[in-house]
Homo-oligomer: A and B are copies of this chain.
Amino acid sequence: MNKPTGALSGIFTPNVVPLDKSGRINEDGLAKYVDWLIRSGVHGLYPNGSTGEFTRFTAAERQRIVKVVCEAADGRVPVLAGAAEANARETLLACEAYAGYGARAVAIISPIFYKLSQDSIFAYFEEIAKYSVIDVTVYNIPMLASSIEVETVQRLAELEKVIGIKDSSGDVAMMARLISRIRPQRPEFTFMTGWDAVLVPMLAVGADGGTNACSGVVPELTRKIFDRFRAGDMDGAMADQYGLTELFHTMLHAVDFPDGFRAGVELRGHPIGGSRHPHLASQMLEIDRLKERLAAMINAFDCVEELATSRADSA
C-alpha cells in the first residue's frame, strides 16, 4: 500500500459507517463508499470522526473501520484516522495500529465526557505526541468535548509530532488567530475546518481545507467550492457556499446528529442501514420526511448529478 506524505490540504470526508441488518459494520459497503468518494473528488478520508459515530463502536471496531478505509483508499488519498480511545495508553496503541494500516496521520479529540482544564488538555496531547509513531492533528470540537483554546494549540504546535489542527468550532476569528500565531513558526502546520457552513470564509482567512461532513453527501460540490476558491474565484465559491451552508444546517439539525448526514449519504445510493442508536418510530418518519427535503436541495446543485427517482423513492 502506498503511503501518502506531505502536508494535508483540501477536503477530507469524515465518513459515516454503513451497517448491515444485524448492526455490524458493512465492510464491503464501506469500501465501496470510500471508493465513490475518492472518484467524486475528495482529497482525503477521515474515519472515526464524530460524523462516523466513533463513540458508538468498540475499540476493536474502530480499528477495523480504519483498516477498511485505508485499504479502500489504497494510497490514492491520505487517511486521517480518528484515534481517540479511553486514555493515552490505549490511544497510543490505536496510533500504532493506524500507522501500520497506512494512515497519513491521526486526529485526536480532547478526552470526552469530563470538562478539562487547558493544562490537562495540554498534558494529554503532550503525552501522546511524545510516544506516537504517527503524526498527530489536534481535534477541537467545543460543542461536544472540552474546548482547546488558542494558547493551548500554540503550545502544542511547538511539539514536532503535532502537525495540525482540525477545528469544528466554526469560530472564524479563532482560526484567524491560530493561523497568524502559528504559521510564522510552523509554515507547514495544517489548519482544517470541520464547520462546512463557513468553508469559504475559513479558506479566506487562510485555512488549508476542511474535514467536512457534507463532502460525504455532495463531494462534487465541496470539491468545486475548494477549486474555485483556489483559482481566486471568490464570487463563484460563495455562490455555492450559500447552498452548502443551508444543506449543512439542515442535515446538522435533523433528528439527532448524525442522522441527517446518514440520510444524505443514503440518498446518493449508498445503503447505510440502521443506526447504532435506537430510534422511535416517530423519528424514522422524521428521517423519511427529511430525505424528501434533502433530495430537493441536492438536486438544486448543478454540479451534482440528479438523484435517480427510484433512489429517492426507495430511500
- Flag if B180 contacts A242 (CB, 8 Å): yes
Fill in one digit per residue for A14-39: 1 if any B CB lies within 8 Å of its CB, else 0.
Answer: 00000000010000000000000000
**B-contacting residues, A258-282, CB 8 Å:** 276-280, 282
- Flag if B87 contacts A56 (CB, 8 Å): yes
A311 at the interface (CB under 8 A from B): no
Identical chains bound together, number: 4
- Flag if B176 contacts A120 (CB, 8 Å): no
Which stretch of A159-167, A198-206, A208-216 is in the interface? Answer: A198-206
Complex CA distance for A157 and B100, rounded to whole angstroms: 48
A99 at the interface (CB under 8 A from B): no
State the majority secondary structure of interface residues on A.
Answer: helix
Fill in one digit per residue for A106-149: 1 if any B CB lies within 8 Å of its CB, else 0.
Answer: 00000111111101101110110000000000000001110000
Complex CA distance for A289 and B33, rounded to whole angstroms: 52
**B-contacting residues, A183-204, CB 8 Å:** 195, 197-198, 200-202, 204
- Flag if B197 contacts A173 (CB, 8 Å): yes
- Flag if B55 contacts A112 (CB, 8 Å): yes
Total interface residues in chain A, CB < 8 Å:
64
**Most-contacted residue by chain B among A112, A180, A204 (CB, 10 A):** A204
A177 at the interface (CB under 8 A from B): yes
A68 at the interface (CB under 8 A from B): no
| Chain B residue nearest in CB terms to A206 | B238
A58 at the interface (CB under 8 A from B): yes
Residues of B within 8 Å of A278, CB to CB, are: 88, 120, 123-124, 126-127
A139 to chain B, nearest CB (A): 13
A299 at the interface (CB under 8 A from B): no
Set B87, B145, B242: member contacting A277, Cβ < 8 A:
B87
A292 at the interface (CB under 8 A from B): no
Which stretch of A4-12, A249-257, A302-310 is in the interface? Answer: A249-257
A301 at the interface (CB under 8 A from B): no
A249 to chain B, nearest CB (A): 7
- Flag if B205 contacts A120 (CB, 8 Å): no
Residues of B within 8 Å of A176, CB to CB, are: 197-198, 201, 238, 241-242, 245
A103 at the interface (CB under 8 A from B): no
Set B59, B238, B277: member contacting A123, Cβ < 8 A:
B277
15 additional A-B pairs beyond A172-B197, A180-B246, beta carbons within 8 Å, are: A50-B114, A55-B114, A56-B111, A59-B59, A88-B277, A119-B283, A120-B256, A120-B280, A170-B172, A176-B198, A176-B201, A176-B238, A180-B245, A204-B234, A205-B241
Enumerate 5 A-B pairs (CB-CB under 8 Å) in ascending A order: A88-B278, A113-B145, A114-B256, A122-B280, A205-B241
